[in-house]
Amino acid sequence: MKEIKHYDVFVIGSGIAGQTAAKFCINKGKTVAIADNRAYGGTCALRGCDPKKILLQFSELLHTSQLLTKKGVSKMPKIKWKTVQKFKSSFTDSIPPNTEEDLVALGIDLYHQSPVFQNKNEILIEGKLISADKFVIATGMIPLDLKIKGQEYLKVSDDILNLKSIPKHATFIGSGYVGMEFASMLAILGCKVTIIEKGARSLTAFDPFLVETLVNYLKTIGVTFIYNAQVTSIEKLKKNFKVNYTLQGAQQSIKSRKVFNTAGRVPSINMLDLDKVNVKFDESGVVVNDYLQSVSNPNVFACGDVSSKALPLTPVSGLQGYVASHNIIKDQSKVFTIPFMPSTVFTNPKLSSVGYSEEEALSRFKNVKIYKGDASSWYNARKENNPVYAYKILVNERTNEIVGAHLLSTEAHETINIFSMAISQKMTVSEFKKQMFTYPTYTNDLKSMLQDED
């Protein structure tokens, strides 16, 4: 086969990480190509954060109305799911053509297949042998393969986002971000939800006190949680599916209309044949150094969810694309350090976190002051007739600096950003309390959370 083209940089994956890297390199005068084996635009814009938030606002609207039923709302809004889906598609449909147009206008060549590495400098794609000086792997993550009998009946997050109607009942396997967000959404929309989780609790990266408060609330709106359970197989019945699982040694089963695999996501690297180019990888992804360069092949960079240094969130993936491309243009010019990254689970209510967990803070600092409470009796929760509002703030007692914040509320996804700034600016409790905020707001409540008990 004849080599037909050479590029300075070949990027694999058109999500936030890949696009950021490709655009940076072309703007620095490099010849650049990008490949994707699915529609251009990546997970966040097409199959993740953005379409999810469009759907979630409808369950939120319903939830707000449900809470206010006896307080003046007499009729629930009727959600026309087909119209909701059309509205969502009006955002997602235009992304692939617009992304391609945008990249082509910059002078980037596009390919529509997974490349397969042939040797250190060459890949095979669309039947062509192509060489490049540097490769950027930005292929993101895909759902974990559960390897159980009947796994072909399992649906994944892409399918939830494209649901044609709300199922009567659904079972989720796994209670991480994806499982919890969609379980909360479907339960509010009238679906009877069961979550089967192999671990002892949900959302292990989040504060246990707040997760427990969230789980207890979700139970009241129709979500059943089964912990420490191992799903063994899925069977197809006439209308439903039967999920078989073991719990405390006993075989159990549950029937439901849909079964969703929300058991986690793994790096998308299988199709690339990385062994051929001496690119080391493991279950965390392509193993990279602080320059996001493969530890075993310096001509290969990896950024975003697929890199071993990933924190699989959109802003971090974008940052990694930027760092990797800097290092392609100028060798070892930028180091990747994980930023103070706030994160939200978009359930009802939302669970947000930034900085150290209680466990991390206690192991790091000699004395930690913990401001923790149930704020459901505070004005903001009461005006929504909302039974859930809680927080935990961690302070290094020696310096009085805020080092961690964990919030569970309707507005936690916004207010957590205030703590993010405070922590990155090393603000002390007294400095924070001097700030003036608008009233009556959830932001203003943050100062009350830092009140010492009399």
Ligand X SMILES: Cc1cc2nc3c(=O)[nH]c(=O)nc-3n(C[C@H](O)[C@H](O)[C@H](O)COP(=O)(O)OP(=O)(O)OC[C@H]3O[C@@H](n4cnc5c(N)ncnc54)[C@H](O)[C@@H]3O)c2cc1C
Ligand Y SMILES: NC(=O)c1ccc[n+]([C@@H]2O[C@H](COP(=O)([O-])OP(=O)(O)OC[C@H]3O[C@@H](n4cnc5c(N)ncnc54)[C@H](O)[C@@H]3O)[C@@H](O)[C@H]2O)c1
Residue numbers belonging to the annotated binding site for FAD: 53
Secondary structure class of 106 (helix, strand, coil):
coil
Choose the binding region for ligand X from 100-108, 136-144, 184-192, 443-451 (rule: CB under 6 A). Answer: 136-144
CB within 8 Å of 33: residues ≥ 6 apart = 5, 7, 9, 10, 11, 108, 109, 110, 111, 130, 132
| Residue of 199, 270, 271, 331 that binds ligand Y (CB under 6 A) | 199
Where are the alpha helices (H) located in 189-288, listed in sequence order? 208-220
Tokens read off for 261: 């695999």
Does 15 bind ligand Y (CB under 6 A)? Our answer is no
> Residue 173 binds which one of ligand Y, ligand X, none, with CB within 5 to 8 A depending on kind?
ligand Y
C-beta separation of 65 from 77 below 8 A? yes
CB-facing half-sphere around the CA of 224: CA atoms within 13 A: 11
Tokens read off for 329: 């243009």
Smallest distance, ligand X to C-beta of residue 304, A: 2
> Residue 404 binds which one of ligand X, ligand Y, none, with CB within 5 to 8 A depending on kind?
none
How far is the first Cα of the chain from the last one, in angstroms, to the nearest whole number? 79
Enumerate the known binding-site residues for NAD(+).
174-181, 197, 264, 305
Where are the alpha helices (H) located in 189-250, listed in sequence order? 208-220
Choose the binding region for ligand X from 48-56, 164-172, 203-211, 404-412 (rule: CB under 6 A). Answer: 48-56
Does 197 bind ligand Y (CB under 6 A)? Our answer is yes
Smallest distance, ligand Y to C-beta of residue 86, A: 23
> Residue 38 binds which one of ligand Y, ligand X, none, with CB within 5 to 8 A depending on kind?
ligand X
The strand pairing partners of 194, in sequence order, are: 171, 224
Tokens read off for 314: 């959109």
> Residue 51 binds which one of ligand X, ligand Y, none, with CB within 5 to 8 A depending on kind?
none
| Residue of 222, 264, 373, 387 that binds ligand Y (CB under 6 A) | 264
C-beta separation of 185 from 53 below 8 A? no
C-beta separation of 15 from 317 below 8 A? yes
Does 95 bind ligand X (CB under 6 A)? Our answer is no
How many other C-beta atoms lie within 10 A of the C-beta of residue 252?
14
C-beta separation of 304 from 17 below 8 A? yes
Secondary structure class of 203 (helix, strand, coil):
coil
The strand pairing partners of 244, in sequence order, are: 233, 253
> Residue 302 binds which one of ligand Y, ligand X, none, with CB within 5 to 8 A depending on kind?
none
Angle between helices 49-67 and 81-92 (to 10 degrees): 150
Does 35 bind ligand X (CB under 6 A)? Our answer is yes
> Residue 196 binds which one of ligand Y, ligand X, none, with CB within 5 to 8 A depending on kind?
ligand Y
Does 420 bind ligand X (CB under 6 A)? Our answer is no
Sign of CA dihedral 182, 188, 190, 196: positive
Residues from 327 through 366 that contact ligand Y (CB under 6 A): 343-346
| Residue of 194, 268, 293, 347 that binds ligand X (CB under 6 A) | 268
Question: Which CB sits closer to ligand X, 115 or 395?
Answer: 115
CA distances, 49 to each of 52, 67, 355, 430 (Å): 5, 26, 22, 36
Smallest distance, ligand X to C-beta of residue 18, A: 6
CB within 8 Å of 72: residues ≥ 6 apart = none
Does 298 bind ligand Y (CB under 6 A)? Our answer is no
Smallest distance, ligand X to C-beta of residue 125, A: 9
> Residue 263 binds which one of ligand X, ligand Y, none, with CB within 5 to 8 A depending on kind?
ligand Y
The angle formed by the CA atoms of residues 66, 72 and 77, to the nearest 5 degrees, is 45
Smallest distance, ligand X to C-beta of residue 236, A: 25
Smallest distance, ligand X to C-beta of residue 50, A: 8
Smallest distance, ligand Y to C-beta of residue 113, A: 25
Question: Which CB sits closer to ligand Y, 92 or 396?
Answer: 92
Does 176 bind ligand X (CB under 6 A)? Our answer is no
Residues from 133 through 172 that contact ligand Y (CB under 6 A): 146
- Which positions touch ligand X (CB under 6 A)? 12-18, 35-38, 42-44, 48-49, 52, 114, 138-140, 157, 178, 268, 271-272, 304-305, 312-314, 317
Q: Catalog residues that contact ligand Y under the rule CB under 6 A.
A: 146, 173-179, 181, 196-199, 231, 262-265, 312-313, 343-346
